Structure 1
Amino acid sequence: MRAVSRPEVLGIGDQVRAEGLVRTVVGLSGTLVRLADVHGGVTAVPLSLLQAASDFEVLDRRRRRAVPAVASLEGLPESVLVRALWWEPHILEVLHGVRPDGGPGTGPRPQYDPARHSLASREQTKAAELVAEGYAVTVATVKRRRQRYETHGLVGLVDHRADKHTTEFGRVDPRVVEAMRTAIDEATQSSTRTVGFIAWRTVQLLQQTADADPAAVPSRRTLYRLFGKLTQGRHTTGSARTRRSEANRPPPPFGQVTPCAPGELVQIDSTPLDVLVRLDDAVVGPVELTGMIDVATRTVTAAVLRPTTKAVDASVLLARTVTPEPMRPGWVDALRMSHSVLPFARLLSIDERLTHATARPVIVPETIVCDHGKVFISRTFRSSCRFLGINFQPAHKGTPTDKPHIERMLGSVATLFAQFVAGYTGSNVERRSTKVEDGPLWSMLELQELLDEWLVAAWQNRPHDELRDPAAPGRAFTPNEKYAALVEAAGYVPVALSADDYVELLPARWQAINAYGIRLNRRTYDAEGLNPLRRQRSAVKEKKGLWEIHHDPYDVSRVWVRNHRDGGWITAFWKHLHRVPTPFGELAWDHVRHERPDGTEEQLADAVAALLSRAHEGPEPPARRGRRARRVAARTRATSRAAAPPDTNATPSHSPDPADRVPPAPAPDDEEDDTPMATVIPLPLFDPFAEARRR
């Protein structure tokens, strides 16, 4: 133990060393010390600054004792500690002549009086006294105990045999330790193996060395103990994924970037979501979650679900990040129309959804950090970042610690949201229940809606452990509260993209505008604003007079047509938006379109509605599945025989009231179905000739 290097006092005449100079103390005045150098110059220096010098030292003075490491006494046996406490009063009597247990005013005994006897004489007296009491003590023992007590305090009286510290690896040859470390490093990027393989590889490495004096191979038990000490926290025999992740971690201490404004640093990543969804009547599969988080406020700016993430998905995610939902063209009208026919109870009412969407922070990224996935380093995503003036910063390869916040957020979604969803599978096969795919499963589109509502209602209003006030660490802020605080501190509010900018970031197609509107994937979009453009050619000759149409792959409720003549965008809604719970994406529509290539648009819309309803209700037992399919087919036939629903071509602002629409009545089923079926009353067909005669 190193002794404390400061003396007990500093007085006039003492020589001190500070800042590489040796000077003499010639005066003390309050907190000032007057120092004289060898040339006679006098300088007044504050005492605190003088002692704060790294090389401060008082020369030619006796140093004080080191502060004893009393905490080391806690782990000693009781008998050893009692023995040290028994020695302490005897040593103090030798040093000062008075035992500590003496009463007030007690003077030293004559044979221990420091004024009359030397230290060596007092040590001889103490040794003779202890021998007379029956203890085998010599003068050398008393002297050694006294010296250790002066240096280490009570710790110096402890029997060193009871406080013996062994080396880290005991008596194992350092060459064996180095060979096992090499074997462990080789296993970092390899498949997981057992301890026996590492021990075998260690012996093999020892045998390959060409030393004249080879190291002795320890026993198998010793090798196993050495393996346990060398692999703490390295997962050498555990998960290979965790082992590689730990190996890629940079050496500590870790650096930290502290953004001070919303959007200053944003991270993006994608990962499989631990939930099975029903993609169609018989296919069950996982989906990928792509999310973007603001580091300063921990706000999830956008999150989307797709079967497989593509480059266009990342660009659309960026567009959703910088444009709040109420500012997206037609979002409010589409939301109200889709909520009018939802087949299940919503997590939020429409008014609550609008309120939360309005209060959700709008964050425009300045820097985006992502990994080297093909989705994020694609030309499409880079082009979107350049369009918005965003600094694109890829992380180091194989270093997820460069973007830890999005990694943690994706894990939090699994624990805070995914595990409460029907079809949760766990993080791996070992955590998965049996027959998850046979239970009730959400469709990917409905799950996207629930995830969006959970983010705005739960995540944004949940206190985050990393969002704490440094002056009051007991208070944790929510992402919305942190955003409000940083906006006030930064002194500016980011301006979101306009509706036109949002549409510009969406994928584009080139279509013709016919008398009935626009046909996109067998869906018809129409609006009154398209009247001057119907059956007309655009001014873009390179595209053969077709019109530029932008669409959101996550929402097929509406498309946007660029008016090449007057400029701006025209929002066209799907004609049958009021018939189907939307928004839903391309996946469900494409599936039904391929399943029913000859079906009419009304039949396809009803089939999509039935598909989403079945996804919510979950799979039925095989005995009833056939009857259910026949009932759906009967409804479809009844609908095809009926007239078109009234006000089919109405604009979104004048969509028919759901209460005024008469749903198609179910058709009779087989006799084996014991479910009572209503009588089918088909609607009268429209006869134009009879209508003309009536006039």
Structure 2
Amino acid sequence: MTAHGEVRVGDRVRFDGRVHTVVGLEGTIVRLVGENGSASLVMFSQLLSAEDFEVVGREIETVGVPPFGLLATVPEKLLRRAHWWEQHLIEVETGRPPKAEEGARPKPEYDPTWHTVVERIAAKAAELTASGTPTSATTIHRMRRRWREQGLWGLVDHRATRLSSPTGRCDERVVEIVEELLAAQETVSTGTRGRIFRQAQQLVAERYGEGEVTMPSRATFYRLLTAMDGGRHSFGSAGSRRSRALRPQAPFTASDAIRPGEVVQIDTTPLDVLAVLDDGVTGRVELSIAVDVATRTICAAILRPAGTKAVDAALLLARTLVPEPMRPGWAEALRMSASLIPHQRLMSIDARLEHAAAKPVIVPDTIVVDRGKVFVSQTFIAACRTLGISVQPARPATPTDKGVVERTFASINTLFCQHVAGYVGSNVTQRGQDIQAVWTLGELADLFQEWVLACWQTRPHDGLRSPFLPGRAMSPNEAYALLVARTGYLPITLNGEDYLELLPMEWRKINDYGVRLDYRTYDCRELAPYRRQHSGLDTKGGLWEVHYDPYDLSHVWVRDNRAGGWITVPWTRLHTVSAPFADFTWRHARALLAARGGDDCDENEIAKVVEDLLQRAGTGPDRRVVARTRSASATPLRPAPSETATANAAEEDGEGELAQVIPFGVFDAFTDGSR
């Protein structure tokens, strides 16, 4: 048999608009001689890829490679029949059957030396007819042509390999309506197939009239729904259905980074664990985390009562930029000096790492956030701008833009939450009976931080691989140790003034009585030179910049535009309230006062209601507000008030001696930055 697609010496080929004769072949080089006697050397690939290439006088046949995967789908009986045809066609082509012994002489009627192809085909048709298989020469011609073009696959009876339509013989108009109804299930509650059947009947009648379109039977219609549903979960979980609908239509790839801090993803989610807030009130809390894409390190985490604020996002950002200190009761194995992180090398740059826990400090270059109001707030954006960090909002309804942090939440749920007392599951169908909260918010936060160090940072992740060790998964600490040598390390130290920049701000006048903020008055001696004075900022109408901590309203900070720095200003009614309180506590107290018929603008009356809220353990909404307030103020965002400001407040309020004010919390921005 002649090889398919063969170019031989002596062939005349058309190339580059002229006819040439092949006079030599050497490897992949073809020597051509034109009609005018000019010789040239051409690469064989260049010759075949030319648009006008052809072999003059005969046709180059393409090589037909059989589709082996499709042959595996052919029924055994039909495949044997195809092999049977192939054996006879080989005898027609070569004169000998495929299993003939070497040197065997062909049958006289099939000898290519004495008989043409047409004669051999006629002889084969007569032989098959005589043996009980009536066959015409036309049939053999057709089978020979298909065999030369498609190989064994061309000899298969394709009636058994035809693909069936997924919608069967249903009317295309019915199929179109079913597709429309299935697409509409993404936003509605889960129903049954019977509801779709009824809706389809109504739509068919409305659009095409009664009796114009034949509806399939209920059983056929249900089979049609099963074929067209195709993993949409139209009759399953609504959550799975909505999640599938949020997937982008275009192909997407996972987020990738090659150095620590290149991309950090931030998000917030309710934690599937009940916590004891205060006075026995229980409730779920919200977890906010920052995850480095390159190393999968959980850079920082914050647990808060429901209602995460923009200032919490700013605090999360600040904690990302400072080392995690060792806490009492933690094992020595959790120290950075005992981990794979290059502790000694980093110690020469930042002395704070001497007592740091085994979690790397990563400075973000780009932060990916969703479009929640917490992360697109002016406070958070301003904080990132101050620290030189780019903020990249994810596209609306596109969770794949921050898939790493979304997957981290799922891992936290399976690796941490389900092992904690008070686990309630991700939905009510997974909740057990009589689930009781055991851990307080502070204790749960400590447990989570310890789990991050002991489990997450040392656990191998399938998504962390080194090109030098492709068969071995690395832990976040190992990935950081590998990448830090390539990218270096540059810590950012946050002092007290830097930290105050992260707090929300208002623009206010400094009057004779001080600064008024939401019907609260703040005043101290340091404000005396600036009373009724212009701040010098014409764009703000002479107002002064005031920063406040929404979780502790006992003090505010006024930027000193003239002398520089900040002025810590205490609340003038600080002595009337026994504990720090949050802004939602103040708003709730005003609402209670208004409900009683009082003046919700009277600072003294509001302060009394706030004190009453914080002192008594009630039930219902009041009790929950108290619990949220105290739990949130367990880790305040503000620096400790200065002794001078506290003393000035005591003198101006007429108090002879004021008890020492002990700042609540574990993070002091004026001192932690220098430890």
Where in structure 2 are the equivalents of 1:258-269 lying within 5 Å? Answer: 258-269=256-267
Could you say if the C-alpha distance between residues 247 and 368 of structure 1 is closer, same or farther in structure 2, counting changes exceeding 3 Å? same
1:324·1:496 contact (CA, 8 Å) conserved in 2? Answer: no
Residue deviations 1:144-172, cap 9 Å, x none? Answer: 33333222222233233333332342322
1:234 is matched with 232
Q: For residue 74 of structure 1, report the CA deviation from its aligned partner.
A: 1.9
Any idea what SS the aligned residue of 2:299 has? strand
Distance 2:115 2:232 in 1: 63
- Letter of the 1:309 partner, please give it: T
Q: For residue 303 of structure 1, report the CA deviation from its aligned partner.
A: 1.2
Q: For residue 235 of structure 1, report the CA deviation from its aligned partner.
A: 1.5
Q: For residue 401 of structure 1, report the CA deviation from its aligned partner.
A: 2.0
Match among 174, 185, 188 for residue 186 of structure 2: 188
Distance 1:291 1:543 in 2: 44
Distance 1:429 1:422 in 2: 17
- Letter of the 1:324 partner, please give it: P
**Which shifted more, 561-570 or 255-264?**
561-570
1:503 is matched with 499
2:411 is matched with 412
Where in structure 2 are the equivalents of 1:146-225 lying within 5 Å? Answer: 146-210=144-208, 214-225=212-223
Q: For residue 279 of structure 1, report the CA deviation from its aligned partner.
A: 1.2
1:324·1:362 contact (CA, 8 Å) conserved in 2? Answer: yes
Matched, 1:323 2:341: no
Where in structure 2 are the equivalents of 1:302-321 lying within 5 Å? Answer: 302-307=300-305, 308-321=307-320
2:33·2:39 contact (CA, 8 Å) conserved in 1? Answer: yes
- Letter of the 1:160 partner, please give it: H
Residue deviations 1:551-591, cap 9 Å, x none? Answer: 7969x9xx9999999988999xxxxxxxxxxxx9989x99x
Could you say if the C-alpha distance between residues 250 and 42 of structure 1 is closer, same or farther in structure 2, counting changes exceeding 3 Å? farther
Residue deviations 1:332-377, cap 9 Å, x none? Answer: 7xx4xxx3xxxxx757778579879454222222222212212111
Question: Where does the alignment leave 5 or more consecutive residues of structure 1 unmatched?
Answer: 327-331, 340-344, 511-534, 572-583, 600-607, 613-647, 653-695
1:538·1:564 contact (CA, 8 Å) conserved in 2? Answer: no
- Letter of the 1:225 partner, please give it: R
Could you say if the C-alpha distance between residues 205 and 426 of structure 1 is closer, same or farther in structure 2, counting changes exceeding 3 Å? same
1:419·1:426 contact (CA, 8 Å) conserved in 2? Answer: yes
Any idea what SS the aligned residue of 2:460 has? coil
Aligned pair count reads 549
1:597 is matched with 615
Could you say if the C-alpha distance between residues 540 and 201 of structure 1 is closer, same or farther in structure 2, counting changes exceeding 3 Å? farther
Could you say if the C-alpha distance between residues 482 and 44 of structure 1 is closer, same or farther in structure 2, counting changes exceeding 3 Å? farther
Matched, 1:248 2:246: yes
- Letter of the 1:432 partner, please give it: R
Q: For residue 35 of structure 1, report the CA deviation from its aligned partner.
A: 5.3
Distance 1:310 1:539 in 2: 33
Q: For residue 391 of structure 1, report the CA deviation from its aligned partner.
A: 1.8
Any idea what SS the aligned residue of 1:187 has? helix
2:87 is matched with 89
Could you say if the C-alpha distance between residues 98 and 187 of structure 1 is closer, same or farther in structure 2, counting changes exceeding 3 Å? same
Distance 1:215 1:42 in 2: 72
1:347·1:453 contact (CA, 8 Å) conserved in 2? Answer: no
Q: For residue 272 of structure 1, report the CA deviation from its aligned partner.
A: 0.7
TM-score normalised by structure 2 residue count: 0.69
1:101 is matched with 99
1:365·1:390 contact (CA, 8 Å) conserved in 2? Answer: yes
Could you say if the C-alpha distance between residues 299 and 598 of structure 1 is closer, same or farther in structure 2, counting changes exceeding 3 Å? closer
1:319·1:505 contact (CA, 8 Å) conserved in 2? Answer: no
2:455 is matched with 458
2:526·2:567 contact (CA, 8 Å) conserved in 1? Answer: no
Distance 2:414 2:54 in 1: 58
2:275 is matched with 277
1:356·1:457 contact (CA, 8 Å) conserved in 2? Answer: no
Q: For residue 427 of structure 1, report the CA deviation from its aligned partner.
A: 0.7
Could you say if the C-alpha distance between residues 139 and 501 of structure 1 is closer, same or farther in structure 2, counting changes exceeding 3 Å? farther
Could you say if the C-alpha distance between residues 23 and 9 of structure 1 is closer, same or farther in structure 2, counting changes exceeding 3 Å? closer
Any idea what SS the aligned residue of 2:105 has? coil
Where in structure 2 are the equivalents of 1:266-665 lying within 5 Å? Answer: 266-307=264-305, 308-326=307-325, 335=327, 339=328, 357-436=356-435, 438=436, 441-470=438-467, 472-490=469-487, 492-500=488-496, 503-505=499-501, 507=503, 537=526, 541=530, 597=615
Match among 43, 66, 69 for residue 68 of structure 1: 66
2:75 is matched with 77
Could you say if the C-alpha distance between residues 481 and 502 of structure 1 is closer, same or farther in structure 2, counting changes exceeding 3 Å? farther
- Letter of the 1:494 partner, please give it: L
Where in structure 2 are the equivalents of 1:675-690 lying within 5 Å? Answer: none
Distance 1:565 1:159 in 2: 94
Q: For residue 315 of structure 1, report the CA deviation from its aligned partner.
A: 0.7
Q: For residue 77 of structure 1, report the CA deviation from its aligned partner.
A: 2.6
Residue deviations 1:631-669, cap 9 Å, x none? Answer: xxxxxxxxxxxxxxxxx99xx9xxxxxxxxxxxxxxxxx
**Which shifted more, 61-70 or 212-221?**
212-221
Could you say if the C-alpha distance between residues 452 and 15 of structure 1 is closer, same or farther in structure 2, counting changes exceeding 3 Å? same
TM-score normalised by structure 1 residue count: 0.68
Residue deviations 1:513-555, cap 9 Å, x none? Answer: xxxxxxxxxxxxxxxxxxxxxx9746874699x999987969x
Instruction: Report percent identity of matched pairs.
Output: 44
**Which shifted more, 68-77 or 403-412?**
68-77
Match among 39, 44, 47 for residue 47 of structure 1: 44
2:379·2:504 contact (CA, 8 Å) conserved in 1? Answer: no
2:336·2:359 contact (CA, 8 Å) conserved in 1? Answer: no
Any idea what SS the aligned residue of 2:490 has? coil
Could you say if the C-alpha distance between residues 6 and 484 of structure 1 is closer, same or farther in structure 2, counting changes exceeding 3 Å? farther
- Letter of the 1:425 partner, please give it: V
Could you say if the C-alpha distance between residues 255 and 36 of structure 1 is closer, same or farther in structure 2, counting changes exceeding 3 Å? farther
**Which shifted more, 449-458 or 350-359?**
350-359
2:379·2:502 contact (CA, 8 Å) conserved in 1? Answer: no
Q: For residue 206 of structure 1, report the CA deviation from its aligned partner.
A: 2.6
Distance 1:57 1:211 in 2: 60
Residue deviations 1:301-327, cap 9 Å, x none? Answer: 11111112111101111111122235x
Distance 1:54 1:460 in 2: 59
Distance 1:543 1:316 in 2: 33
